[in-house]
């Protein structure tokens, strides 16, 4: 690997996914305010935030910075992280027995210059949820820091009927697009990295 990658995110899940790919990195969260512009489409919003995060962090390091942002969209309404348990209940009730989109924007920047950006969209179908199981899931605390109030990689996987698209997009980092973006701009010359062993990824 040419240079140490900086993950411009405080999400532990994105760091886990990079480790899963065998990509060494350091974490440096951005200070970008996440505010949607009036009338801004979901895909454009996620991509813009990813770009702003990557640029923000890249100005504070000499290493390439990878920014990402994930949002949940149902009926063109964006569901971000819940403010409290009641809002989480409203979100999960809205998702019950329906299909929604999970949009993850991805961007790479170096020393204040954008190298590239892309967006990944995955469709997720929830099974019909009972009020009691929604409240018990909320009480687990798993969805408090997640867009749409759920996490696909944990208990939240039991809420889901099917996924159409890349699983990593729902977790917060589309794996194939991440590899492609890093290779396109020379951060990765090859993948998997030489010397990576499967036991290290578990």
Residues labelled as active-site residues: 69
Three-class SS state of 126: strand
Q: What are phi and psi of 162, to 5 degrees?
A: -160, 160
Q: Please give the radius of gyration of the chain, using alpha carbons only, rounded to the nearest integer.
A: 17
Three-class SS state of 49: helix
Three-class SS state of 24: coil
51 membership: H or E segment, kind and range = helix 42-58
**Residues 38, 116: contact at Cβ < 8 Å?**
no
Q: Among candidates 107, 158, 109, which has minimal Cα distance to 129?
A: 158
151 membership: H or E segment, kind and range = none
């Amino acid at each position: 690997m040419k240079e140490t990658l900086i993950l411009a995110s405080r999400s532990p899940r994105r760091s886990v996914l990079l480790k899963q790919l065998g990509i060494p990195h350091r974490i440096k969260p951005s200070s970008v305010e996440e505010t949607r512009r009036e009338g801004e489409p979901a895909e454009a919003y996620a991509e813009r935030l990813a770009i702003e995060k990557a640029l923000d962090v890249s100005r504070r390091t000499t290493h390439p910075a990878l920014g990402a942002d994930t949002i949940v969209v149902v009926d063109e309404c964006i569901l971000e992280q819940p403010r409290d348990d009641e809002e989480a209940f409203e979100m999960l009730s809205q998702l019950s027995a329906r299909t929604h989109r999970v949009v993850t924007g991805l961007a790479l920047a170096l020393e204040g210059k954008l190298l590239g950006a892309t967006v990944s969209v995955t469709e997720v179908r929830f099974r019909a949820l009972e009020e009691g199981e929604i409240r018990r899931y909320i009480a687990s605390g798993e969805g408090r820091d997640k867009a749409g109030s759920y996490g696909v990689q944990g208990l939240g996987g039991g809420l889901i009927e099917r996924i159409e698209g890349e699983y990593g997009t729902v977790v917060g980092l589309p794996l194939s697009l991440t590899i492609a973006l890093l290779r396109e701009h020379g951060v990765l010359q090859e993948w998997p990295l030489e010397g990576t062993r499967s036991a290290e990824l578990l």
